[in-house]
Amino acid sequence: MQRFTNSILAALDSRNWYGALTLALALPDICGWLENPKVSSRARCIAWWNKFLIAKYTSKVGANYDETVFLNGNDFYALRCAYLHQGGDDITDQNARYIINKFMFVAPKENIYFHCNTKINDVHETLQLQVDVFCRDICFGVEQWILQNASDVEIVRRINEELIIIHDLSGGIIF
């Protein structure tokens, strides 16, 4: 699994936002499949997000410090499907959608943090995410998932035997 998170981090370092985002959106489903291969992609993605990352996307806001979930598993899955299958960020046609209608990803800018901002108008509720923070959060979730499942023999077997490996011409494995 480390080869995948390393690839995301390398893509972020080279400012390859789309490459990093593509792999980051795929990883929760990959982790979910490794853990529960007979469960649907939708169910495992939503469950994985809600277990490993929903806390990072929940804050207390307003005068009453009401707990607000900015990104739940359903909206994550809808984003994943819209982006990976259609190349889009509008999730209004995704049946997994729960609250959000559209996403807006922004590239990082020095000394400025634009992450988990919502914009509500008559038509859309848009969640703005800083692409590097979002991708690093997913890498963090994967690391937590790895720690939790390190002793599961079947998951480790699937990781070692069933995930794609890119080999270099000298016979080594590229991490």
How do residues 70-102 score in pLDDT, each as one tens digit? 889 998 999 898 889 888 776 667 555 556 677
Spatial contact of 84 and 108, defined as CB atoms under 8 Å apart: no
Is residue 68 predicted with pLDDT exceeding 90?
Answer: no
Spatial contact of 146 and 27, defined as CB atoms under 8 Å apart: no
Q: Could you give the CA distance from residue 156 to residue 59 in angstroms, rounded to a whole number?
A: 34
Higher pLDDT, 115 or 16: 16
Which of 33-37, 63-67, 118-122 is least confident?
118-122
Q: Which helix (H) or strand (E) holds 13?
A: helix 2-13
**What is the pLDDT of the chain when averaged over all its residues?**
86
Higher pLDDT, 25 or 118: 25
What's the DSSP call for residue 66? E
How do residues 113-134 score in pLDDT, each as one tens digit? 565 556 555 555 888 899 999 9
The mean pLDDT value for 53-78 works out to 86
pLDDT recorded at residue 166: 87
Q: Which amino acid is at 30?
A: I
pLDDT recorded at residue 82: 87
pLDDT recorded at residue 155: 97
Indicate if the alpha-carbon torsion angle 113, 107, 174, 76 is positive or negative: positive
Is residue 170 predicted with pLDDT exceeding 90?
Answer: no
